[in-house]
Amino acid sequence: MGCPPPVLLATPRFWYVRRPTPLARLLQPLGWLYGLGVRWHRGISRPVRLPVPVVSVGNITLGGTGKTPLVIALARELQGQGWCVAVLLRGYGSSRQAPCRVGVGHSASDVGDEALELYQQLPEAQVWVGLDRLASAQDAIAAGATLLLLDDGLQHWRLARDCDISVLDRVHGLGNGLVFPAGPLREPVSELGRADLLVLTGGGTDFEAPLRWPVAKPLIRLASWIESPPGLADQPLLAFCGIGLPAKFFAALDHAGLLVVERLGFPDHHPYAQADLERLQHRADVLHATLVTTVKDWQRLPWGWQQRVVALPLELDSAAVAAIAAVVVLQLGIEMEASADG
């Protein structure tokens, strides 16, 4: 089926130190074993070729690189070109095992926060959640999909793909270049060679990855930012989030010129309890601040709390998204021609 990423309570700081620390070196043998396990899993997989194109958007690192916003933007771009898009994902936090098409009435606890965000942002696309993405794909095709987008699919090998996109954070890069748990890599950096396109997200330039990207691969820089909402200009804000790299969200708020008086990070995909939210509200009241968070975190809030918290969406460079879509379509043409010749 694929190799699911490890569940992280927090991102270790030593992963993003330029030179591997003694702790990273101590954990490196475990990283070798983990990498061997990933390669073994891929080696025994027998990918299934489907009658429609399959495009994967994934990453080689753990933590947030901006995959979901790119999937949303890419799906819209491809829909505009006439494709009937279905997005397939495992659904982190979902309580469902069998394929499930996300629809009205589903909650984040049902299908996961990412699936709910995709469904709300892509009303004309199909969004499917399920551990068996082959079964999800077959159901999506039966429902009329002409192109499948795999969210977080780089390490999924059950489905043969026509185009693999690997997303990399421009600021954090490959971290210390080591495989989990010694570093942030989900598999050895050499596996980046499987990607047909590399996308660098974010706008920071203060960190250069210690390893060079494969030179033969197309690379597109995708700038992203948060627009300053008119109603929040010069208003004190208490920002919180539970994503892979909370610092990215906080940096985007600073870049937007917003007045963030306090920032609080939670573990990735954190399920906000009533006690968490009451503490946040109490702190916001003390600071006379408005609560703000990411769209993904907002999906995990109870309905009543969604009315009290402002979700700040990430904006993407439309020209870069169009360029990514152009590479995808070109790659699909190459793959289709190769299949016809075969």
What is the separation of C-alpha 134 from the centre of its chain, rounded to a whole number of angstroms? 20
Residue ranges making up the domain that contains 284: 227-313
In a domain, 135, yes or no: no
Residues 49 and 156 in one domain: yes
Pairing of strands 315-316, 224-225: antiparallel
Helix axes 113-121, 67-80, angle to 10 degrees: 30
pLDDT at 135 over 70: yes
pLDDT at 207 over 50: no
Residue 317 has a pLDDT of: 94
Residue 161 has a pLDDT of: 94
In a domain, 100, yes or no: no
Pairing of strands 126-129, 100-101: antiparallel
For the chain, what is the domain count? 2
In the sheet where 147-151 sits, what is the strand order?
Answer: 100-101, 126-129, 85-89, 147-151, 54-58, 163-169, 197-201, 219-222
pLDDT at 329 over 90: yes
In a domain, 288, yes or no: yes
In this predicted model, which residue has the larger pLDDT, 10 or 25? 25
Residues 75 and 150 in one domain: yes
Residues 303 and 239 in one domain: yes
In a domain, 244, yes or no: yes
* 236, two tokens: 């004190």
Among the ranges given (39-43, 77-81, 202-206, 317-321), the one the predictor scored with the smallest mean pLDDT: 202-206
Residues 159 and 204 in one domain: yes
CA-only gyration radius of the chain, Å? 20
SS3 label, residue 149 = strand
What percentage of residues in the chain have a pLDDT greater than 70?
Answer: 89
Q: How confident is the model at residue 282 (pLDDT cuts 50, 70, 90)?
A: very high
Q: How confident is the model at residue 323 (pLDDT cuts 50, 70, 90)?
A: very high
* 162, two tokens: 């026509």
Residues 156 and 77 in one domain: yes
In a domain, 210, yes or no: yes
What percentage of residues in the chain have a pLDDT greater than 90?
Answer: 60
Between the two ends of the chain, the Cα-to-Cα distance in Å is 26
Residues 178 and 326 in one domain: yes
Among the ranges given (58-67, 131-140, 179-188, 254-263), the one the predictor scored with the smallest mean pLDDT: 58-67
* 98, two tokens: 């069998």
Q: How confident is the model at residue 214 (pLDDT cuts 50, 70, 90)?
A: very low
What is d(CA 342, CA 332) in angstroms, rounded to the nearest whole number? Answer: 15
In a domain, 34, yes or no: no
Q: 98 to each of 45, 108, 140, 151, how far by Cα in Å?
A: 20, 16, 13, 17
Q: What is the mean pLDDT of residues 95-111?
A: 85
pLDDT at 232 over 60: yes
Give yes or no for a cis peptide into 181 (omega within 30° of 0). yes
Q: For the whole model, what pTM was predicted?
A: 0.89
In a domain, 88, yes or no: no
Residues 234 and 284 in one domain: yes
Residues 239 and 305 in one domain: yes
pLDDT digits (tens, 9 = 90+) for 49-69: 999 999 999 999 987 778 999
Residue 18 has a pLDDT of: 79
What is d(CA 266, CA 276) in angstroms, rounded to the nearest whole number? Answer: 10
Residue 62 has a pLDDT of: 86
Query: What CATH number does residue 66 fall under?
Result: 3.40.50
What is d(CA 286, CA 284) in angstroms, rounded to the nearest whole number? Answer: 5
Q: How confident is the model at residue 171 (pLDDT cuts 50, 70, 90)?
A: confident
Mean per-residue pLDDT over the chain, rounded: 88
Residue 342 has a pLDDT of: 57
SS3 label, residue 323 = helix
| Residue 287 DSSP label | H
Q: What is the mean pLDDT of residues 99-118?
A: 90
Exposure pattern of 44-81 as b/e (b: 16+ CB <10 Å)?
ebeeeebeebbbbbbbbbbbbbbbbbbbbbbbbbbeee
* 249, two tokens: 């969200």
pLDDT at 256 over 50: yes
Residue 172 has a pLDDT of: 82
In a domain, 37, yes or no: no
Residues 205 and 304 in one domain: no
Residue 63 has a pLDDT of: 75
Residues 324 and 191 in one domain: yes
Residues 202 and 246 in one domain: no
Residues 282 and 187 in one domain: no
Residue 173 has a pLDDT of: 83
